[in-house]
Amino acid sequence: MSINIAGRWNMRWGKSFSEVSPWRGILRFGKKGKLSPRYIGPYEILERVEPLAYRLALPVELSQIHDVFHVSMLRRYRSDPSHILREPEIEISEGLTYVEEPTEILDRSIKRLRNKEIPMVKVKWSHHSPREATWEVEENMREKYPYLFPESVR
C-alpha cells in the first residue's frame, strides 16, 4: 500500500491502522485514558468506496462498528517481522479435570422483586473457603445437587 503523505488519498490495497476516537470517554477498545490506543489494527483494506473512504476487513469483535473509514482516520501499516509473536505450544493432558462441587449450604435468604420472591441459598464450594461462598437460586441447586437438601427441610 502506498499513501500520498500530503493528501493521503492514493491508498492501495494492503493493510492500515484505524484511528480510535477519544471523544465522549467511551471505553471501546479495552483501555480508557492515557493508556488507550490511538490506533487499532492492522486491518486489510478491502475496497475503495469513495475517493476518500475505504472499507476495512474488521474482526467479529468489532462487528458493531461501521467498516468504512475516511482516510483521515487511517494510518499506514508497515510490515515488520518483530510484530509477529510466536506462542509456545501448550500440551494439555486429556485426563486432567477440575470439578467444582458444592459441599454445604451456609445461609438462606429471600430476594424480593416487585412481583415475586426468589429463595436463595449461600453455597460453600469444594476447594474454596467459606468467604468465597456464592449466592445461588435455591430451585436450581435443588435440581442439580439434591443431596444438599435433606428431606426434612423441604
Q: For 77-105, how does the pLDDT look when each residue is reduced to its tens digit (9 = 90+)?
A: 888 787 777 888 888 888 888 888 999 99
User: How far from 27 is each of 36, 110, 132, CA to CA, in Å?
Assistant: 9, 36, 30
| Boundary-marking domain end, from 79, 94, 114 | 79
- Alpha carbons 112 and 52: distance in angstroms, whole number: 57
Amino acid at 89: E
Main-chain dihedrals φ then ψ at residue 141, nearest 5 degrees: -70, -35
Percent over 90 (pLDDT), the chain: 35
Across 98-120, average pLDDT: 93
Domain ranges, residue 69: 15-79
Residue 10 domain flag: no
Q: Cell 458444592 sits at which residue?
A: 102
Domain count, the chain: 2
Beta bridge partners, 16, equal 43, 76
